[in-house]
Chain A
Amino acid sequence: MQKRLVLNQQQIQIILKRFCHQLIENHDNFENTVLLGLQPRGIVLLDRIVKELEIVSGEKVPAGYLDATFHRDDFRRRDFPLKANETKINFLVEGKKVILVDDVLYKGRSVRAAMDAMIAFGRPQKVELMVLVDRKLTRDYPIMPDYFGIRVNTLDSQYVVVEWASQGQPEDAVWITEKEKK
């Protein structure tokens, strides 16, 4: 199977640092800002950013995990329902600036579902999207990230795989692979 490395550990670390500085630039002291990681894979990136932000700015930004399984638009269109993950949000987003964090932006459908799910916690003042990888040619919905690590041209016949050392992989990395033909 063909496999191409797009980002290595060092590049990912540089991107995380850049994300932190961009956030500080736009959100000052994070007084009215919260971060929401999208389950299941966005939460690893979220945890890293929260940790990095604490080092860079000294601020501990309120953060939560958001699961959008029950808001997806492909329910009953799959062979079986997706297993839900934990939503852990100990605050309301009413009037807040929310930054949604995910690893890969592909069709934009998960982000649409996530925005729907987020509304259950209040009406935010503003919503931004931060992704590590933006797959720019595959979007189904008019959704664009406000912050992205790398923008890649990919086909539907390819996967973008994000690996994290914290999840037992040898090191942090982003790969593009070909889907196996059925």
Chain B
Amino acid sequence: MSQLSTRHLLGIKNLTEEDVNLILDTAENFKEVINRPIKKVPSLRDITIANIFFENSTRTRLSFELAEKRLSADVVNFSSSNSSVKKGETLVDTVNNILSMKVDMVVMRHSSPGAPHFLSKNISANIVNAGDGTHEHPTQALLDAFSMREKLGDLQGKKIAIIGDILHSRVALSNIFCLQKLGAEVMVCGPITLLPKHIESLGVKVELDVRKALAWCDVANVLRIQLERQQIKYFPSLREYSLYYGINKKMLQQLDKEIVVMHPGPINRGVELSSDVADSKQAIILQQVENGVAVRMAVLYLLAGVRS
């Protein structure tokens, strides 16, 4: 099959294993495209996409915009900081106003979990969730899985540890759903205060000691401490967090195998990762960014490709 089971990408949870594999396979084709001398294909030339960002973003927004442009789509950008949202306009009104200008797809980031789901019930355009609060960030999980697959091959039975602020991370949740669909074993690791209650009910292993997590895994996907989402103190200080959970070169050298280190960015150097790890050959952080464009091209292409 070359068709997704959905017309929106709201999260990984509702995708099938076939959907995930179709997106990753298509992304391989697009990775070849973006490494050509001319990196553009005409597929989406009659499509207009609105990037609506109610929350800050550097990588995701640039990556989506590049993906859209490489597919020849017309792109309009919107950020809430200089818009009528500040004047009290509702989400549906804002988006409907944008759609009345003949926009076919909406890429949205919002601080409220479920915002794109709500929108999908109220508007006709295809919606791609570019991160909704602490809920899901599906394209990040897909590009992480793509990068792992590129490095390790089939992910069936591979061991992936997600380390850091699991509680506030939408990347963690989407990663768990995505990796499990591909047959990988997933472990979450972090201070007990930053692990959601009942997280083990998702079928993941839980570990509090980062050294044990590193010894267990093939890939360590390290997450940032999301201070901006933390209303209360979950640990005494960043320095203490870094002492217990920061990953440095020495820790990796003590392992009996070479693991792959990933990070969705932005990195807080010296907190979750030391610079010598972030810049080492084991880290594929910049490959993740490159793959992000290919994966987003695949998502947009597959969603837009259904007969209009």
A contacts, CB < 8 Å to B: 67, 69-71, 75-87, 92, 116-117, 119-122
Residues of A within 8 A of B42 (CB): 70-71, 116
- B245 proximal to A (CB < 8 A): no
With A77-B307, A78-B307, A84-B26 as contacts: A70 and B2 at CB distance below 8 Å = no
Interface centre among A70, A75, A92 (most CB of B within 10 A): A70
B287-308 toward A: CB 8 Å interface, digit per residue (1/0)? 0000000000000011011111
5 residue pairs from A and B, CB less than 8 Å apart: A70-B43, A76-B308, A78-B307, A81-B302, A87-B33
| Cα of A85 to Cα of B36 in the assembled complex, Å | 15
Distance between Cα atoms of A75 and B41 in the complex (Å): 12
Knowing A75-B305, A80-B306, say if A87 contacts B32 (CB, 8 Å).
Answer: yes
The verdict on A120 contacting B36 (CB below 8 Å), with A76-B308, A81-B305 known, is: yes
Query: Footprint of A on B, CB under 8 Å?
Result: 1-3, 22, 25-26, 28-29, 32-33, 36-44, 46-47, 71, 301-302, 304-308
Shortest distance from the beta carbon of B107 to any chain A beta carbon, whole Å: 18
| Complex contacts, A77 vs chain B, CB 8 Å | 307
Dominant SS at the A interface?
Answer: loop
Assembly CA distance A82 to B3 (angstroms)? 8
Contacts of B1 in A (CB 8 A): 80
- B37 near A80: Cβ-Cβ < 8 Å: no
**Is B307 touching A70 in the complex (CB atoms < 8 A)?**
no
Complex Cα distance, B308 from A84, in Å, reads 20
Q: Are A92 and B37 also in contact (CB < 8 A) when A76-B306, A82-B2, A83-B2 are?
A: yes
Beyond the given pairs A76-B304, A120-B39, A120-B40, 7 more chain A to chain B contacts, judged by CB atoms under 8 angstroms and listed by A's residue number, are A67-B29, A75-B43, A80-B2, A85-B29, A120-B38, A121-B37, A121-B38
Summed over the interface, the residue pairs from A and B with CB atoms below 8 Å come to a total of 69
- Tell me, rounded to whole Å, the shortest Cβ–Cβ distance linking B289 to chain A: 22
Which of B3, B28, B41, B305 contacts A76, CB < 8 Å? Answer: B305
Q: Do B41 and A70 touch (CB < 8 A)? A: yes
- List chain B residues, Cβ under 8 A from A76: 46-47, 304-308
The closest CB in chain A to the CB of B44 belongs to: A75
Q: Which residue of B lies closest to A116 (CB)?
A: B42
Instruction: Kindly list chain B residues whose C-beta atoms are within 8 Å of the C-beta of A85.
Output: 29
Partner of A81, one of B33, B36, B301: B301
Chain B: which residue is nearest A122 at the CB level? B37
CA distance A86 to B33 in the complex (A): 10
A122 — which chain B residues lie within 8 A by C-beta? 37
A75 to B40, CA, bound (A): 16
Which 7 residue pairs are nearest across A and B when measured between Cβ atoms? Answer: A81-B305, A80-B3, A83-B2, A70-B41, A84-B29, A120-B38, A70-B43
A70–B26 Cα distance when bound, in Å, is 11
A69 neighbours in B (Cβ, 8 Å): 29
Contacts of B3 in A (CB 8 A): 79-81
Q: Known: A75-B305, A80-B2, A80-B305. Is A70-B33 also a contact (CB below 8 A)?
A: yes
Whole-angstrom CA separation of A67 from B304 in the bound complex: 19
Nearest opposing residue in chain A for B304, CB measure: A76
Closest A residue to B71 using CB positions: A70
